[in-house]
Chain A
Amino acid sequence: MDIITALTIFVLAVFVGFEIITKVPPTLHTPLMSGSNAISGITLVGALLAGKGIIGGFFALLAIIFATLNVVGGFMVTHRMLEMFKKKD
């Protein structure tokens, strides 16, 4: 992938992000933060593919652990919070 394609994707995604996130009401800002935080654990995909050799493998293992903590913990805690908002519907 050449750098211009990557940059294009980056910039467009930032714009999409700005557009949707400005519409999130303040009531949901904490779940938004923990949920988007879980999404930033996408670096897990990179961690799964990383790691050759002993040191590289060690780094990869640590990366997988931290990223999974981020992803699983983030989505679960967000779910827990949102359930509290939902049940009064």
Chain B
Amino acid sequence: MIDQLLSIPILAQAAGELADKVPEIAEQASEVVESATADVVSQIAPNAPLLRDVGYLVAAILFILGIKGMTHPRTAVRGNLLGGIGMLVAVIVTLVSGGVSWALVIIGIAAGTAGGAWLAKEVQMTQMPQLVALFNGFGGIASVLVAAAEVLKGFDETDVAIAGFAAGLTGLIGSVTFTGSLVAAGKLHELPQFKQPWSFNGQQPVSAALLAIGLVLTWGLADGSGWEYFFVVVLSMALGYLLVTPIGGADMPVVIALLNSYSGLAAAAAGFVISNNVLIIAGSLVGASGLILCSIMCKAMNRSLTNVLFGKMEPSGESASADEVYEGKIKSTSADEVAMMLDGVQRVVIVPGYGLAVAQAQHVVRELATLLENAGVTVEYAIHPVAGRMPGHMNVLLAEADVPYDQLKEMDEVNPTFAQCDVAIVIGANDVVNPVANTDPSSPIAGMPILNVHEARTVVMIKRSLSPGFAGIPNPLFAADNCLMLFGDGKQALVDLVAALKEN
């Protein structure tokens, strides 16, 4: 006991000595921690870019698999999700690898997510073309801003010449995409300011001059100076506006496909500025996609891209006048008559045109089809590539109205079968079913691929009047022996037809 009591001062003394050593120990400990951290950092640091690049590779693979999923409606949802995951991977590895200003990132992503989600939820399917145009524009301006920030920062890449030149291209393509897309979206949304194609004499030389100056300035950026960049952006914004304003509404599918391609190319160019593979890969995939869609649309209209962008579609003086074609040959019909005719037929092909989308009649069409199917009729839809306002638009509109996608037939698939079709119902389409395209080489639509509805046993045209379509020429189909005109508003005519069928 006493021994123990005696030992207390000794312990206390030892404790005191220990306490004296605490700062020393703490110092040593922190030294150990510091050196350990330094070790870890020195081990990770060379690996951080590696880790990030592997992440980018994974993202690129996911993008490719994602687009591959789009090759069939069954796999498309998964494909889109893969693309989304790819994007998430790319963003996460970028954030983790450091060097970002978190405040900017959090505010920016929160605002962008809220806005994007709202737009995606609220948009109607008929408004899809202008939404895609708008998103193209956003992508374009984002690339422009990335390159701008890089120009201000001064290029830290080894090769200033390439980064500078690529920055110029990003500014050029991205700015054209931005203003061009905004004008296209305005036209598609039928804003009064953009409704009429607008151009002035000498517009094309002015555009060409702007492009030339832009390219010269871009070349000048290769010296790493940077000031030219902002002139490139301003000039190209004017250029984008001038390029799209003269183009009419009917040609918008081509224009948004092209702008889609540009938004991808702008991202790829931005990838060259900051030496980033995933931007280059994703950007070029999108660039290719837009170009393919653009060429498909041009083929469907039998026009070259230059003709769509710079030419005007003029009705040729040679073609027959409307009076000659239609005189005394038009047979008008009623909903009741058509309903009776549809009784007991085998196969009906519905040909929807953009007029159907305008009339918001896709749901009534679906109702009509269901009634016919219940009566044992085979119903199919023949979709011309330019039926909507963007590639594939009509398919989306019909899918929204619950039309099964296997009933949506492409032109090449359905054309050989019109001879076995009892009734073809054409709603709000004109030029794409005009047989003149095949028969009259002097016609403005000569050579344009059409749906051969005239081969059907009976054709019912639902149309307001005999007025011509975009091509401005009469359609001899209306006067054909097997064609009946059901005059009226597309939706109302269909509603009447459905009511008449239900009565039978």
Q: Which residues of A contact B (CB under 8 A)?
A: 1-3, 6, 9-11, 13-18, 20-53, 55-57, 59-86, 88-89
B135 engages A45 (CB within 8 Å): no
- In whole Å, how far is B403's beta carbon from the nearest beta carbon of chain A? 8
For chains A and B in complex, what number of residue pairs have CB atoms within 8 angstroms? 375
Give the chain B neighbours of A18 by CB distance below 8 A: 288, 292
B95 engages A48 (CB within 8 Å): yes
Known contacts A68-B116, A80-B120, A36 near B395 by CB under 8 Å:
no
A64 engages B105 (CB within 8 Å): yes
A72 engages B120 (CB within 8 Å): yes
Give the chain B neighbours of A82 by CB distance below 8 A: 73, 76-77, 80
The CA-CA distance from A2 to B111 in the complex, in Å, is: 36
The CA-CA distance from A53 to B60 in the complex, in Å, is: 31
Give the chain B neighbours of A41 by CB distance below 8 A: 87, 135, 138-139, 142, 267
- CB-contact partner of B278 in A17, A31, A42, under 8 A: A42
- CB-contact partner of B143 in A23, A46, A53, A68, under 8 A: A46
Across chains A and B, which 8 residue pairs bring their CB atoms closest together, nearest first? Answer: A68-B112, A64-B108, A17-B288, A29-B392, A73-B116, A72-B116, A76-B120, A63-B145
Instruction: Name the prevailing secondary structure of the B interface residues.
Output: helix
Give the chain B neighbours of A81 by CB distance below 8 A: 125, 128, 396, 399
- In whole Å, how far is B463's beta carbon from the nearest beta carbon of chain A? 25
Instruction: Please report which residues of chain B, range 240-267, place their CB below 8 angstroms from some CB of chain A when the two chains form the complex.
Output: 256-257, 260, 263-264, 266-267
Looking at B70, B150, B153, B293, the one whose CB has the most chain A CB atoms below 10 A away is B70
> What are 24 A-B contacts defined by CB distance under 8 Å?
A3-B159, A16-B288, A22-B292, A27-B410, A33-B290, A40-B264, A42-B267, A43-B142, A47-B145, A56-B152, A57-B149, A59-B148, A62-B142, A65-B111, A69-B119, A69-B138, A71-B112, A75-B80, A77-B123, A81-B128, A81-B396, A82-B80, A84-B396, A85-B399
Known contacts A30-B128, A70-B139, A17 near B120 by CB under 8 Å:
no
CB-defined interface of B306-330 with A at 8 Å, one 1/0 digit per residue? 0000000000000000000000000
The CA-CA distance from A14 to B292 in the complex, in Å, is: 11
B120 engages A61 (CB within 8 Å): no
Instruction: Please report which residues of chain B, range 209-235, place their CB below 8 angstroms from some CB of chain A when the two chains form the complex.
Output: none
B391 in contact (CB, < 8 A): yes
B430 in contact (CB, < 8 A): no
B73 engages A70 (CB within 8 Å): no
Instruction: Please report which residues of chain B, range 378-436, place their CB below 8 angstroms from some CB of chain A when the two chains form the complex.
Output: 383, 385, 388, 390-393, 395-396, 399-400, 402, 404-405, 408, 410
Number of interface residues of B (CB under 8 A): 112
Instruction: Please report which residues of chain B, range 125-142, place their CB below 8 angstroms from some CB of chain A when the two chains form the complex.
Output: 125, 128, 131-132, 135-136, 138-139, 141-142
- In whole Å, how far is B107's beta carbon from the nearest beta carbon of chain A? 7
The CA-CA distance from A45 to B256 in the complex, in Å, is: 24
- In whole Å, how far is A27's beta carbon from the nearest beta carbon of chain B? 4
B145 engages A35 (CB within 8 Å): no
Known contacts A14-B288, A17-B288, A71-B87, A76 near B117 by CB under 8 Å:
yes
The CA-CA distance from A53 to B74 in the complex, in Å, is: 48
B116 engages A37 (CB within 8 Å): no
Give the chain B neighbours of A2 by CB distance below 8 A: 159
- CB-contact partner of B116 in A46, A59, A71, under 8 A: A71
Give the chain A neighbours of B256 by CB distance below 8 A: 33
The CA-CA distance from A6 to B158 in the complex, in Å, is: 14
Known contacts A14-B284, A33-B257, A33-B260, A77 near B146 by CB under 8 Å:
no
B302 in contact (CB, < 8 A): no
- In whole Å, how far is A38's beta carbon from the nearest beta carbon of chain B? 7
- In whole Å, how far is A45's beta carbon from the nearest beta carbon of chain B? 5
The CA-CA distance from A18 to B392 in the complex, in Å, is: 18
B280 in contact (CB, < 8 A): yes
A32 engages B87 (CB within 8 Å): no
B405 engages A27 (CB within 8 Å): yes
Instruction: Please report which residues of chain B, range 47-79, place their CB below 8 angstroms from some CB of chain A when the two chains form the complex.
Output: 56, 59-60, 63-64, 66-68, 70-74, 76-77, 79
Known contacts A41-B139, A63-B145, A65-B111, A3 near B162 by CB under 8 Å:
yes
CB-defined interface of B92-109 with A at 8 Å, one 1/0 digit per residue? 001100011100110111
- In whole Å, how far is A1's beta carbon from the nearest beta carbon of chain B? 5
CB-defined interface of B279-317 with A at 8 Å, one 1/0 digit per residue? 111111111111011001000000000000000000000
Give the chain B neighbours of A14 by CB distance below 8 A: 284-285, 287-288
The CA-CA distance from A78 to B289 in the complex, in Å, is: 15
- In whole Å, how far is B86's beta carbon from the nearest beta carbon of chain A? 8
- In whole Å, how far is A23's beta carbon from the nearest beta carbon of chain B? 5
- CB-contact partner of B120 in A23, A59, A77, under 8 A: A77
The CA-CA distance from A63 to B385 in the complex, in Å, is: 35
B41 in contact (CB, < 8 A): no
The CA-CA distance from A39 to B83 in the complex, in Å, is: 7
Give the chain B neighbours of A20 by CB distance below 8 A: 64, 67-68, 71
- Sample of 4 more A-B contacts, CB < 8 Å, known A21-B293, A56-B153, A63-B143: A30-B395, A42-B283, A49-B99, A86-B73
A35 engages B83 (CB within 8 Å): yes
B399 engages A51 (CB within 8 Å): no
B280 engages A79 (CB within 8 Å): no
B139 engages A43 (CB within 8 Å): yes
